[in-house]
Structure 1
Amino acid sequence: MNSGLKFLSCILLLLFTIGRAQEKIVIGEKHALFSKILNENREIWIHFPKTYNDPTISPAKYPVIYLLDGEINFEYYTGMSDFLARPPYADIPECIVVGIKNTERTRDLTPTKSQKKSPVNPNLTLFSDSGGSENFVKFIQEELKPFVHKNYRTQDYTVLVGHSFGGLFAINTFLTHPEYFNAYVANDPSLWWDNKVMISRTKEYLEKNKQFPAKKSLYVSQADNEEQQKNWNSDMTQAIEEFKGIVEQNSSLHYKHSFFPGEVHGTVSYPANYEALKFIFKGFRTDIKQLAKNPGQLEADYRKLSDRTGTEFLPSETYLNTVVKFMKNNDFKETETYFINFKNKLYPKVK
């Protein structure tokens, strides 16, 4: 090979290598949404399930998770939700995740105006920009949700996830607007806020309504802040325990409280969110091996989940393809035919 051809070959190889090196793994997209309610632009980050743009299956609709403190939680949470939704071991359905980036965090996530004075300067009020949660939840319900539902294929099932002040916000929303979401996650919530105002509101809610709304889920995690018990974490721990005692007396709510030894306030969200998703969608996972013996169990399991949540959940086309393949590979011919017919019934091919 002469020098000219060698040079050309090197250039082509370099261009090919650069082209391959530019391939990217994308976990979502960013949008700027102007809020008339808040009178400001809000940045939201949206993650799509792996099958969202899959041309080999019928276009599906997906539950939506609204994730507070998006700039902190979005990257790990989206990978976690995808992992939990992978067939054939899916514990949850595939979900769209909407991360909400903060502007004025204390303002948006706290329910009342702070009157707390600084311990070192009595003339200074701490958290002076607090008390705007009602406007913020109005933004989510009346502006953000309609935007998401209009532009993406969404199922009528939503989850609100928050940590610390975000957990306080989640519980306050659950008490004041329980119809806004189907499930609420509050990780190490700041229930110490404003002399434990959420404890008072919880008692008032039950005195007025007697029980919590049916077909809702509430998950509360608690960090192990033992080494910091002499500061504000002590108040937080006591308030969470008090809230737990009140809620656990009410049997109508799909509720779980989890304590995480060794996890502090700043780390508890990661393991808690994993457990929370499995708890909210408990009953979603089916045993593919058992379906070979009892194919009707799949429909029965999904009916049970749908009854508990008040939302119709169906086996995805992707999962049914996995089931059919399993039956074929293991020579369960009758069961294979059953699930082929079941899949065609749920997802008829457009001619």
Structure 2
Amino acid sequence: MNNWFKFLYLSLFLMLTSKANAQEKVIVGEKQVLFSKILNENREVWIHLPKTYDDTTINPAKYPVIYLLDGEINFEYYVGMTDFLARTPYADIPECIVVGIKNTERTRDLTPTKAQKKSPVNPNLTLFADSGGSENFIKFMQEELKPFINKKYRTQEYSLLVGHSFGGLFAINTFLTHPDYFNAYVANDPSLWWDNKVLISKTKDYIEKHKKFPAKKSLFVSQADNEEQQKNWNSDMTQTIEEFKGIVESNGSLNYKHRFFEGEVHGTVSYPANYEALKFIFKGFRTDIKQLAKNPELLEGEYKKLSEKTGADFVPSESYLNVVLKFMKSNEFKESETYFIHMKNRLYPKVK
């Protein structure tokens, strides 16, 4: 084999090898960094967009936003969970934008008061010395992060706050102090023992002052089994969550759910709890496509109920209507197909 043939052979080999190795990547999100004047630091957030976000075959849609604390721990599994729950025709939730917030000073940002708790092994040491900055952190979220997300992405005016442990403490504190900042709150095994159960006192004060919780809000609280933790110095976590449950359930105005997860410990409870929380918050979103064949008016009726419960405007997405129309056409439900064609044209008129 002469040099020219050797060169040609090597070139073809490298070209075929590079094509074989040039595999398509699966992207779950993108990183954004914004400078916070309130916190005086750069904050990194991870953004996951719904699968239909860049679909050019449908009209540009707006999506609810989930603000997920401890983003570096929770983001990867959470976005897969939301995509799974939003898949048609079995969607339990709408497609959502997920904003995972990466920590810098976690204790500072997520705790509501300055702690004075002493170490159980060294009484001269004060634990959590950098605590008590949650009011600044929620101000950052409300005045800087949310406007940033709303400007950069197509967002619907419906948002969730999701947190675990100190993040759950932060979620409940935000619910009590700024209930209008989010439509729904998820607190997984929240650290309600914090600072001599300060949020238990704050919850009682809220009820005494307002008489009832705000309407059209949702709160999901999970509780881990934590059997092993009952033996250590932080054993009051379970008791305080139960105490909070008693206060809330004695006031029936809130769309509230408490869920105990047997066999799950503090570090594992978020995964199953977040799945149930999403289904609870968006209960009523799922519709039975087979029932729509018999009663097409049922679809808008169900979404109207959901909108009234949540205080937000939910309508069938164009992508779901396409699935419905395909089902009606393939099964020759002609009257229902005509009904949904008119609905789609009304909700999503073609731009001329």
For Structure 1 versus Structure 2, the TM-score category normalised by the shorter chain is over 0.9
1:41 paired residue number: 42
Corresponding letter in the other structure for 1:90: A
Paired residues for 1:31-70 under 5 Å: 31-70=32-71
Q: How many Å separate the matches in 2 of 1:40 and 1:12? A: 46
Paired residues for 1:67-82 under 5 Å: 67-82=68-83
Report if the CA contact (8 A) 1:65-1:161 is conserved.
yes
The superposition leaves residues 257-284 of structure 1 with CA deviations (integer Å, 9 ceiling, x where unpaired) of 0000010000000000000000000000
Paired residues for 1:200-215 under 5 Å: 200-215=201-216
Deviation at 1:250, TM superposition (A): 1.1
The alignment partner of 1:258 has SS state of strand
1:12 paired residue number: 15
Matched, 1:107 2:108: yes
Q: How many Å separate the matches in 1 of 2:229 and 2:158? A: 38
Deviation at 1:17, TM superposition (A): 1.3
Q: How many Å separate the matches in 1 of 2:304 and 2:293? A: 19
The alignment partner of 1:42 has SS state of strand
Report if the CA contact (8 A) 1:225-1:233 is conserved.
no
Report if the CA contact (8 A) 1:167-1:186 is conserved.
yes
Q: How many Å separate the matches in 1 of 2:78 and 2:142? A: 22
Deviation at 1:18, TM superposition (A): 2.8
Deviation at 1:241, TM superposition (A): 0.2
Which ranges in structure 1 are unaligned for 5 or more consecutive residues? none
1:301 paired residue number: 302
Q: How many Å separate the matches in 2 of 1:7 and 1:73? A: 46
RMSD across aligned C-alpha pairs, in angstroms? 1.3
Matched, 1:123 2:124: yes
Corresponding letter in the other structure for 1:15: S
Deviation at 1:233, TM superposition (A): 4.4
1:94 paired residue number: 95
Corresponding letter in the other structure for 1:60: A
Deviation at 1:124, TM superposition (A): 1.3
1:261 paired residue number: 262
Deviation at 1:32, TM superposition (A): 1.1
Deviation at 1:301, TM superposition (A): 0.1
Q: How many Å separate the matches in 2 of 1:285 and 1:318? A: 14
Q: How many Å separate the matches in 2 of 1:184 and 1:137? A: 14
Report if the CA contact (8 A) 1:118-1:126 is conserved.
yes
Deviation at 1:7, TM superposition (A): 4.5
2:330 paired residue number: 329
Deviation at 1:8, TM superposition (A): 4.7
The superposition leaves residues 282-341 of structure 1 with CA deviations (integer Å, 9 ceiling, x where unpaired) of 000000000000000000000000000000001000000000000011110111111011
The alignment partner of 2:115 has SS state of coil
The alignment partner of 2:31 has SS state of strand
The structure 1 segments of at least 4 consecutive aligned residues displaced by more than 6 Å after TM superposition are none
Deviation at 1:6, TM superposition (A): 4.7
Corresponding letter in the other structure for 2:19: F
Report if the CA contact (8 A) 1:167-1:185 is conserved.
yes
Alignment size in residue pairs: 349
2:231 paired residue number: 230
Q: TM-score, normalised by structure 1?
A: 0.97
Corresponding letter in the other structure for 1:215: K
Q: How many Å separate the matches in 2 of 1:13 and 1:132? A: 56
Report if the CA contact (8 A) 1:170-1:185 is conserved.
yes
1:160 paired residue number: 161
Report if the CA contact (8 A) 1:188-1:222 is conserved.
yes
Report if the CA contact (8 A) 1:160-1:183 is conserved.
yes
Q: How many Å separate the matches in 2 of 1:7 and 1:201? A: 73
Q: How many Å separate the matches in 2 of 1:232 and 1:271? A: 26
The superposition leaves residues 159-192 of structure 1 with CA deviations (integer Å, 9 ceiling, x where unpaired) of 0000000000000000000000000000000000
Which ranges in structure 2 are unaligned for 5 or more consecutive residues? none
Corresponding letter in the other structure for 2:109: D
